[in-house]
Each structure stands twice: as C-alpha cells, then as structure tokens.
Amino acid sequence: MGKSLPKQAILVVNAGSRKGADLFAEARDKLIAAGIELLAAKKCKTAKSMETEVKQALEKAPMVIVGGGDGSLSSFVDYFIGTDVVFALLPLGTANSFARTMGVPLDLDGAVDVIAKGEAREIDVGCINGDYFLNAAAMGLAPKVAESVPHGLKRTLGRLGYLIWAGWSAANFRAFRVKLEDGKRTVRMWATEVRIANGRFHGGIELIENADLKSGEIVVQVVTGRSVAKLGWSYFASAVKLKARHQTVREFVASEFTLSTKPRMKVSIDGEVGAETPLKISALPDGVTIAAPRD
C-alpha cells in the first residue's frame, strides 16, 4: 500500500485553462470540505504569476495542488524534482491526458476524492533537451495544431475543436524524415507523427499502450510512411481499439534516445510547443511524487 497523502496543501489554479476560472471557488470549497487544510488558494491569470505561486508554494506546504490542463501541469513539474513535496492535480484542461494516464477522475468531485483519500506514488518523468515533462510529447501535425488552434475554438469546443482544426491543418502538412538512435542501433524512416511517451495518453486518446510510469524507460512511437490519411486512420484505429492499430506505428523503448529530423521540427510537450529537433530524450526514474488513486 502506498504512503498516505498530506492533509495540508496550497492550491494554485490556472484561470486561463478551459475550466480553471469557473471552477476555482468550487474546487477550493470542496477540498476544504474533504478535509484538506488549504494554507493558501491562488487563482492565476498568467503563466508567469502561476510559476511564481508554485515556486513559493513548494517552500511552504507538503503538497501543492495544481489546477489546469496538461501544459500547466507539465510546465511546473521541473520545480518538484528533487523535493519531497507531493504534486497533486485537478484536471481542468481540454484533453487531460496525464490525469487519464494516472487514473485520476476528470470530474471535480472525483479528483478531489483522490487528493483527500489517495496515496503518494513516485513516478518517472520524461526529459527532452533538459526540459522535464509528465506525459507525452509529439512532433508532426500535433505541434502545428497546438500552435495555431484559435483559443476561442479550443475553449468553446474542447477536444472537438482540436479535431476540427487538425483536419483543417492536415491539408498543408507534409511527412518528414526521422533518424532515431538508442545507443545500440540507428533507425531511419519517413513519418507523419512521432510520439515521445512517458504516459499512455496523447490528445485524450490512449495511443501508447506500452508506456509505463514505473519502467525507467521512454517509448518513442512513430506513425510511419508519408500518408496523412494513414495518420488519421492511426488515430481512429487507436481510439476505437481496432486490432489493426498496431500496424500503423513502430515503437522503440529505451532509457535514452537521440532523435533528429529533416526538416527540423517543433515539438509539442504535453500540449505546449517548446523544443525543436534535434532532441536528447531520457527518462528520470521516480522523479516526482504524485497524488494518485489507491490501487
């Protein structure tokens, strides 16, 4: 059985996330009602102010509850590494892929219940060019969509808005060359998307079923070939769990990778466009302690 979670915490919510502004007061009240002593509760309107609040909270509380989408959660995981502070999450974003990977309910009551009654669990984190992340990164069509999707479409329609914009963006998208090295072999291939996975979910869909948060390894999954239609078929086959879904991708598992592309590609890390190829990819075993549901 895992270690019990602290009863004292600080709540920091991204008011710019899809549900953050609307649910802040309700989340605060439900956490208190569930027996969590909130030393502070902060609603942040900018990424900079949220960064400041999270850094300060780490020095004052044994557990910090971060409310927001995958991008918010992953942006601040770096500050938890090397500390004993528990990272707790309220999934208030669009896809909430990391919450799905952890088995944290997406509704507010369920997420609060995990924080109040769950367990402290150490998990691996991924690292790309020195930047730590919780769940998954991608290059190809995904960063193009993440970087260009209109905020109003994302906020109003959520995952459906992403899908609509992805279809629109695919018309001008071209395949790219990938070179992947793991210290033992070098593989070259054409690709329409590359997923770098610590967790199983990407875009709210379970795409990388072999990813394991306790393995000490990263999974690189490549949608091979040059057909954008095949990429769409890969997403559909994975979403509805067709047996043929494994035939659309190649998977590579190791603790470290070097990855380069032609042309150079931007990378979306947990939904936020960040690094650009070439990449140094690695896993940090037991890098952070998460508030998780009890098994």
* C-alpha torsion sign, points 281, 285, 286, 287: negative
* pLDDT, position 168: 53
DSSP β-ladder status, 119-128 and 205-206:
unpaired
Find the helix or strand (DSSP H, E) in which 204 lies.
Answer: none
Find the helix or strand (DSSP H, E) in which 140 lies.
Answer: strand 136-140
Nearest to 201 by CA among 186, 219, 226, 183: 219
36-53: average pLDDT: 93
- pLDDT tens-place string over residues 179-238: 999 999 999 999 999 999 999 998 888 999 999 999 999 999 999 998 877 877 887 888
Angle between helices 20-33 and 108-117 (to 10 degrees): 40
* pLDDT, position 72: 86
Task: Give residue limits of the domains in the chain.
Answer: 3-123, 131-285
Between these two residues, 12 and 295, which has the higher pLDDT value? Answer: 12
Q: Do domains 3-123 and 131-285 have the same CATH topology?
A: no
- CATH code: domain 3-123 is 3.40.50.10330
131-285 belongs to which CATH class? mainly beta
- pLDDT tens-place string over residues 135-194: 999 998 766 666 555 566 555 655 555 555 566 566 567 889 999 999 999 999 999 999
* pLDDT, position 212: 96
- Report how far apart, in Å, the C-alpha atoms of 60 and of each of 6, 8, 64 are: 13, 10, 9
CB of 232 closer than 8 Å to CB of 170: yes
Q: What is the pTM of this model?
A: 0.87
* pLDDT, position 164: 56
- pLDDT tens-place string over residues 61-111: 999 999 998 988 888 999 999 999 999 999 998 889 999 999 999 999 999
* pLDDT, position 154: 55
